[in-house]
Amino acid sequence: MSSRARPHRRALAGIVMGVIASLGLAGCANYAGIEPQGRLQPISQLSVQQVLGETPISPAAWPEVDWWNQLGDPVLDDLIEEALRDSPDVEVARARLRSANAAIASARAGLFPTVDGSSQISRSRVSEVEDPKGVGGFYSTSRKLSLSFNYDLDLWGGSRAAWAAALGEARAQEIEYRASALTLSVNVARSYIDLADAYRSRDIAQRQLDRARRIDDINQELLRAGLDNATQSLQSSVTVDNARQSLESAEQAIRSSRISLAILLGKGPDRGEEIARPETLTPAIDALPSVVPAELIGNRPDIVAARWRVEASSQRIKQAKAKFYPNINLSAMAGFQSPAGDYFFSDAAKSASVTPAISLPIFDAGRLRASLESTDADYDLAVAQYNQSLVSAVGEVADDITTLRSIADQRQSQRRAYDNALAAYGLAEERYSAGLANYLDVLSSEQQLLSAEQGLSQLATQQLDRSIQLVQALGGGLKLDLAVPHEAGGFPSAPDPMAISATDTRPTP
């Protein structure tokens, strides 16, 4: 064995002995007894068969990503596309996604070694005290050029787990980015429905005011003719004032709906003045897709995002556990260092070093255990939020479906009431024309007709609004189980984070 090889072998033997000693001391800091408690909610436990047993089932009823086309108003289609393009809400979500993607790159960098280069030159006056010969008073120049290498071996996968956690969080953020677009489109559609309802209410309020004025005119004529006292005249005047107030309230509802739409579009209030009166709309969805709970898992944004956050939390547990074990960091340096410029790149100026370092937690007053305990609690919180989202989602779908079913029944009853009121109004007009009744009877029948029409209009608005809420509860047609960005239907595209396999999210103790 050569004399040069012996020092290197002795160094390698020292490293091996250090690792063995570190493994022997690993019991000094451990995570025994610390493990998460959360369990994901089994989807099979969330049954809706009894609640929705009488509801029509249709596998084709799942909403499309451009579900708003079902409402049948091209103006609304344009408004939603404008909102998805210009609204600050989408920009906020996009900025958050960019931040999450940057975190991926930062975590991934920890998996690779770092190489840094540096150069330095300094000139200084050497004092008499600094000069070993006691002369001093001269100038010295130091030149240095080096390349350094540093690598964390990540023996227990802590850095890789941190990267996987960043991927999971970014995936959840990407889904929430698309969810923000869904929420925005839903809010635009619901505000548009409010605008349509405000117009219908204004029409009825105007007819109510016209009716109240006709009654007041009749009472005023009777009063002037001495055929009635002032009581009826005063009462009819009050009715006119109330009807006028109702009309103004309806006008303000139109203005408010226009302003709300303008805000959702990311524009000033004047943009709302350009929106024409909505056309007659049809419900966005009228049947229940089959196997609702199971399909919600892959389509509902909050559920899918919560599931990815569970995965991210499980990876953070692995990252926290890796800190309990010994780790090796390898650093090296090579370069040139010389006070003489002529000899800077000579063999004599060469400088190099290799520094393996072993780190092991032995006593930290419980900091690592506390950190792991906190990480486990975060995992339990992520699981609980996932379970909460799942239960709430199934409940929302069931509530929307049963409400729509009830509204449909109510509309049938209200339609019969409207038809009867319309027939009574027509009969009253016939009797008045034949001289068998006075005009007040006609106006009284008209009041019943207007009340029935208003009730029918309100139910139609409720049905439209609930159908849109059901679309949102079902995920708005987003195919979130896919690993590619969804761009169809006007939704803005999002940079898709690097995917990781979501297998068992329950970390091993």
Q: What is the CATH class of 31-36+64-111+154-325+360-489?
A: mainly alpha
Beta strands 138-152; 350-359: pairing state: unpaired
Q: How far is CA 321 from CA 116, 165, 217, in A?
A: 30, 14, 86
DSSP H/E element including 145? strand 138-152
Domain extents in the chain: 31-36+64-111+154-325+360-489
Question: What DSSP designation does 226 have?
Answer: T
Q: Specify the pLDDT at position 46.
A: 62
pLDDT at res. 483:
40
- What pLDDT score was predicted for residue 265? 92
Tokens of 419: 């038809």
pLDDT value, residue 135: 66
Q: What is the 3-state secondary structure (H, E, C) of 221-237?
A: HHHHCCCCCHHHHHHHH
Which residues in the chain come in under a pLDDT of 50? 1-5, 24-27, 482-509
Residue 100 is predicted with a pLDDT of 83
Sign, CA torsion 75/80/85/91: positive
Residue 248 is predicted with a pLDDT of 94
Residue 270 is predicted with a pLDDT of 92
pTM for the full predicted model: 0.75
Q: What is the pLDDT of residue 44?
A: 64
C-alpha 417: how far from its chain's center? Answer: 43
pLDDT tens digits along 45-55: 665 555 555 65
The chain-wide mean pLDDT, for the chain, equals 77
Q: How many residues does the chain have?
A: 509
Output the pLDDT for position 141. Answer: 75
Q: How far is CA 148 from CA 153, 180, 221, in A?
A: 16, 46, 104
d(CA 321, CA 382): 18
Angle formed by the axes of helices 158-224 and 301-322, to 10°? 150
Strand order across the 327-338 sheet: 114-126, 138-152, 327-338, 350-359
